[in-house]
Structure 1
């Protein structure tokens, strides 16, 4: 294989910031690339790989490290290493790296382990490279979860479900628009009424809520909050307005949905706090549009309702089901 072909094959494992991945960068020593170019025809031994690392200014590794990452399928590892890309069964019975794909498989595992359980890949290599077999096995065994103990916990108290299409209403933007309490009209309603009066003052006729919120009055008087109002009123944007009474009725219909969703979200937050000591998964995200909320809700439902996880009754924080008192 030519130099550029090898670099392309190995680009996933090359870092621009130096460290362990630098030995597979464009400035890599030609000796390394020449040897890797013959790898599919000539097996790469542990001694030779250590030499290649030396050419790349990396410290050597132990026999145990080489065997663990390239010549074995450790049953005690936290994940099934045979599911890692490129794996071939014959590698677990070999004495050397048999192909470029074989080299990539071991590196892939090391990179996952470094990112999952150590600060970074370079730090992981420095930590693992001199370990003995029993030390590597013990290290990763400790990072496995006892799934039977998790199953034995049983389910937590149920959350209050919110229709996926209404989960955007638990957002901070919606809370600011509708206010904290049903009996105190939110600023969205005030803005709509003011915009309607300005529209009528200019002898304007029937108009949609969208056009009111996207119009010049809102843009001028509520410029910093225009996007927030449009987001919060998404359910009624295409509703026609011919009077202040129309605004009141359309707003009330939207507000009812908001407070129903918000109260459910607040109750769910209480539930999450009650199990914070046993929370298994915290889903962190940023949701800025209604579609973001839909996508995240579907993603959480897809992942955590999977039949392969059902028996674990995982306690996971779903950000589309939780609201905070502070906003």
Structure 2
């Protein structure tokens, strides 16, 4: 990132534009700050960090025919001046971010300019970790995920199934967005989580939310049949993971599985048929009942 501002230092002062190459420097790389023009008869180029000329002097480069350089307290050994009044900084650190000011002195006049550079961190691929139950139960458990990154100024973005995760009364971010906490998970929180740090994306971490069974449905809902009919009843309940179905006739077990088949029924088979669904992981249950009447033909 690069922004410019210009300073005016009296009636005999001018301003110049300073360009950075590259415009978005990264730590470990180099950057060169170059003024757009160097006034004729310029004597020296004075570079310092910040906007106060009395502080953080980096160097003064004297132009031909003198061509020599003196350094100040802001010099780190990584800065070099040049005859075009440019400043080259090598092996950039994030601490090099900030405003740099150039003063170009010539007889009776001073030309100035500033450049603001931001040195971005080198970011490796982040990783995800989970510090809560990896199989949270709907309405009961919480979920906590951490985006692990060494970036100290990380801008962390969370995604669920490729879409940004926003904060709410249930969903909170902490530790500079590195931690995602979801209270009392819902089934819509199920899915593939990722975190993004700058332009680096973590691998996905799939978090299944254990829910259900919801109240089952018995189909068909028809409840009157003639003797010697064949009856097929189906039980359906929404849940994750799958459910086990058990059928009861007047309170006694009469079958298992989603389908109950009754063949050549008699009047003695009139009564209450109940389907019970049990979540195989949470062991939660839900039931539905159908009263069936078998009549004479």
More strand by share: 2
Q: Same fold (TM over 0.5)?
A: no
TM-score (norm 2): 0.22
Please identify which structure carries the higher helix content.
1
Higher relative contact order (CA 8 A, sep 6+): 1
Task: Calculate the TM-score normalised by the size of structure 1.
Answer: 0.21
Q: Which has the larger radius of gyration?
A: 2
